[in-house]
Structure 1
Amino acid sequence: MSDLQPRIGRETFRRLAPDVVAALAALGETATKAGLDPALLELVKLRASQINGCAFCLQYHLTAARTLRVPREKLDLLVAWQEVDLFSERERAALTWTEALTEVTLGISDDDYEDVREHFSEVQLAHLTGAIALINSWNRISIAFRFAPEPPGPRAVPS
């Protein structure tokens, strides 16, 4: 069994790499500024974090999603979103795109691209793709340093 203690804490990371944190935080703001729904973005961040197994980001974005009043049923069944009718076509397209970009070693099909393009403008798709890239970056940082999940509280970086 491995030691699951944090390698370095989140606050230590913020102190050691403030420019990284600032750059990622700035990127995190762009998707909502481009008009993407914050609740949709939280679903995307949660799905990528589920795939990547990032406990810190799961807790963080569950708290954010609850604050945005994302329906509990969606949060409970996000891991099996393809099997239920709870998600809109737009959400389904975003989740398909999230999975394709998160599991990029599998490639990104033309069908997935065409599907997501039906639901998002080019500008929105560019920002959605940036948001997915961002959560994957945060997942990797959080997993690498074993950031511990925190109890619900005020939001702070990451996004």
Structure 2
Amino acid sequence: MTERALPERLAGLVALSSGEERADTLIRLTCGRALSLPPLPTPTDLPDEYTDEDAVLVAFAEQFAVDVTGIGDIQRERLMDVFGDNAFRVVVAIFIADFVPRVWAGCEALGLGKPGWSADVTLDRDTDPVAKVLGGLVPAVARLHDLDPVTTEVVRLRGAEAHNCRLCKSLREGHALDAGGSEDLYRQIADFESADGLSEAHKAALRYVDALIWSPSRIDAAVADGVRRHFSESQMLELTLDVMRNAANKIAVSLAADAPRVAEGTERYEVDEQGQTIFA
């Protein structure tokens, strides 16, 4: 994926739908409110009255955006009861409404504009967002290589911990290990500000990761300045998209589909030239 393709790809995500117009409106307005950011364009007005089914969707989307680790079995079961076979598509639509506004907020804070933003969006209710996100966006971002592999892995592991993705925490990317990544280094991520093994560039990136995850509407100028000090424009864009790519783990976490690959320790994997995950 080239930089020129990024606006088109992000715009394409914004046009994707859960398949239900009313659900799209509730999802987008709920995520925008939870993030204190402008929501993605909505296809219809907010309903005058909420049904019980609406309340289930709103509660799930809000918890997904604020802290996905707070979604429990009962909330998950209620969403499945309401949406049935369409539940996975609905959750992917929530991910888009949750994270594209974060990308735009991060890019604006870094002086990169809002790639793919448009006030005029026509929702596509026919295209499945699952394939576009997991089969399109995720490997496309993984094919970007302006960032070094250790920085990419440090950023991934910070997001894995924030979202408590058991699968992500059980994996270690091989190119990063070959480039100098190690368990000793990765253990320092948890308390990175006082870590002596992480570089100043790593720390600047991790501050930005935390801002995108926990306070995207309030990205401190000092955090943005730190990123600009250590990274080029193409690296900053990749860093922002890496946070989004990694945050796709929220989909699995929200559905309790994030079981680790191994019961103990970690497993090595690699991202190939197509951006696909290859396990050892």
Structure 1 residue ranges without an equivalent (≥5): 8-12
Find the structure with the greater CA-based Rg: 2
Query: Paired residue for 2:68?
Result: none
CA distance in 1 between partners of 2:249 and 2:214 (Å): 13
Q: Aligned partner of 1:142: which letter? A: A
Q: Aligned partner of 2:207: which letter? A: T
2:133 is the alignment partner of 1:20: yes
CA distance in 1 between partners of 2:196 and 2:217 (Å): 26
Match of 2:152 among 28, 32, 41: 41
- Range moving further from structure 2, 104-113 or 143-152: 104-113
Q: 1:121 to 1:21 in 2, by over 3 A?
A: same
Pairing of 1:1-159 with structure 2 (within 5 A): 17-23=130-136, 24-30=138-144, 32=145, 35-60=146-171, 62=172, 64=174, 65-66=176-177, 68-105=179-216, 107-136=218-247, 138-146=248-256, 147-151=258-262, 152=267, 154-155=269-270, 157=276
* 2:170 alignment partner, SS class: helix
Q: State the Cα deviation string for residues 109-144 of structure 1 (Å, max 9, x = none).
A: 1110011100001111011111111111x2211202
- Structure 2 contact 269–277 (Cα < 8 Å) conserved: no
Q: 1:68 to 1:150 in 2, by over 3 A?
A: farther
CA distance in 1 between partners of 2:255 and 2:177 (Å): 26
Q: Aligned partner of 2:189: which letter? A: L
- Structure 2 contact 153–173 (Cα < 8 Å) conserved: no
CA distance in 2 between partners of 1:85 and 1:116 (Å): 19
- Tell me the C-alpha RMSD between the 2 structures: 2.8
Larger helix share, 1 or 2: 1
Q: State the structure with bigger RCO (CA 8 A, min sep 6), 1 or 2.
A: 1
- Range moving further from structure 2, 77-86 or 145-154: 145-154
Q: Aligned partner of 2:237: which letter? A: A
Structure 2 residue ranges without an equivalent (≥5): 1-71, 78-88, 90-129
